[in-house]
Amino acid sequence: MTETLPPTGVALFDAERLLLTEAAEPPLPPQDAEARDRVWDMAVKANPTLFDGPVVACGGLERSEPGILRLSWVRVTYRHYALRRVPGAIALPSLFVNVVQPTDDGRVLTARMSPLTAAPGRWQLPGGSVEPPQAGAVLDEAALAGQAARELAEELGVGAAAEDLELWVVTRGESGSVGLTYLAPALPEATLRAHFTAAAAAERVQGREPELDNIALVRSPDELTALNGPHADYLEPIVRRFYENR
């Protein structure tokens, strides 16, 4: 029997296997498209670093049997999410990958978004939006693990192999956004800090501001309260699950 997962509230789901199917973007009324474009243009004027690149949205998420999640995905661009600010319009939930990066003494790395990002000052796990596959490629579990590994390398400078990342849990956030959370091999704190510093420096040499401007290591979900600023809605539930399952 197919179980449709709850669309609201932060929920965590185990996923021993993920089945992916591409779906078409739902038709958009012309008035909603025009309003979306106006909202997007205003956002770009306020933050010129915004880029209307290709991205994957979540078309649906359901569990058909224990341990198996079925996920449909849709090709959109970042402009699509401007629909969230259009009254009465329906925006598809976002789809992203992120990574739990532990230290060898049992702490979890959290990261803060830089001021020029779409979520300035927000504490979260390293990660990012899922990108659609190139022509001739497929979006499957291996490709998603590869994207998670790439985010880890770009944001933290940590070169984990995709096959070393384990799909650990799937989250559905308060806005319906779906996150695929991977578990990375543990590393020493000194190694993580050195890699993060080097990655940030390399970005600045290229004339770009790093996407993350700080990291913190927490030993329990209670320690998250000391991190000033907004937190991603999934952060506390994921950190809590990590320590409950140790």
- Report pLDDT digits (tens) over 3-39: 444 444 688 988 778 999 999 999 999 999 999 999 9
- Report pLDDT digits (tens) over 185-211: 999 999 999 999 999 999 999 988 899
Domain boundaries, the chain: 3-244
Question: Is the pTM of the predicted complex or chain greater than 0.85?
Answer: yes
Residue 108 near residue 218, CB atoms below 8 Å: yes
CA dihedral 191, 168, 232, 26 (to 10 degrees): 130
- Report pLDDT digits (tens) over 132-171: 998 889 999 999 999 999 999 999 999 999 999 999 999 9
Domain 3-244: give its CATH code: 3.90.79.10
Residues ≥6 apart with Cβ < 8 Å to 194 = none
| Range of 124-128, 175-179, 203-207 with top mean pLDDT | 124-128
The confidence band for 116, taking pLDDT boundaries of 50, 70 and 90, is confident
Three-state DSSP at 153 gives helix
Sign, CA dihedral 63-67-70-75, equals: positive
